[in-house]
Structure 1
């Protein structure tokens, strides 16, 4: 009987831990091409990878364009940390969109049910496509 109580207690403790939120892939490969040739010009393709460069949270599907602003941004040492708080009062779900440098391709996914907040840590001293580099993304 005591083993069952210990196991049940461990489950309750672990249930309060971070939600397994999606992690944006660090880079994506794309195939881009001109829709029409440009007279007198030759098209070239870069082999530079498209690195993860921005994150957006949405109230509902990204196609609806209801992006959420961070609830707080604070400076922690030499980093900036933005935090979004999600109220579970809405029937609409929160989505995350991962953007990549040098391409219009992005990836989107619905956050798991029960996600209460996400924090993004930026390094303002290092820039990628004009934006501060994202160093960490954590959702709870």
Structure 2
């Protein structure tokens, strides 16, 4: 086989390959405190973990609040699959944010620069904080 054809074939395979996108931790443990006193009430800490509830993609750091809507959502085998396609018309990095039920704490990080798209599979039959449960995250 001609080496150029073989190398071109490998390039095409690599172009559609999954990228090691960050995976959200399944749960967080937080330490919270009241910012004001409530007369007659006693503060109590409930030490239960906060479960992963959502993923949001941003054009730039999440603090700038430029969240991105999915380009497509479809139903596949009873699950919902939402896909975001990241065109590089912007020089800004794409960020992923992991949100958790019952807390305002979230985790975020920049996606690898070569990320072209990400798809999230949701289970609409299972809900957490009113949202369908996040299943698989696949980025390419």
Is TM more than 0.5 here? yes
CA offset digits 1:71-123 (Å, max 9, x no partner):
00000111100000001232111001100000000011000011000001111
Can you give the 5+ residue segments of structure 1 that lack an aligned partner in the other structure? none
Can you give the 5+ residue segments of structure 2 that lack an aligned partner in the other structure? none
Distance 1:77 1:11 in 2: 31
Cα drift, residue 14 of structure 1: 6.7
Distance 1:13 1:73 in 2: 26
CA offset digits 1:29-53 (Å, max 9, x no partner):
1000112332111112222210110
Q: How many residues align?
A: 134
* Cross-structure match for 1:138: 138
* Cross-structure match for 1:38: 38
Please give the root-mean-square deviation of Cα atoms over the aligned residues, in Å.
1.8
Relative to structure 1, is the Cα distance of residues 85 and 13 closer, same or farther in structure 2, using a 3 angstrom cutoff?
closer
* Cross-structure match for 2:98: 98
Distance 1:14 1:26 in 2: 31
Q: Does 1:118 align with 2:118?
A: yes
Give the TM-score normalised by the residue count of structure 2: 0.88
> Contact 1:88 / 1:114 at 8 angstroms: preserved in 2?
no
* Cross-structure match for 1:129: 129
Distance 1:94 1:100 in 2: 20
Give the TM-score normalised by the residue count of structure 1: 0.88
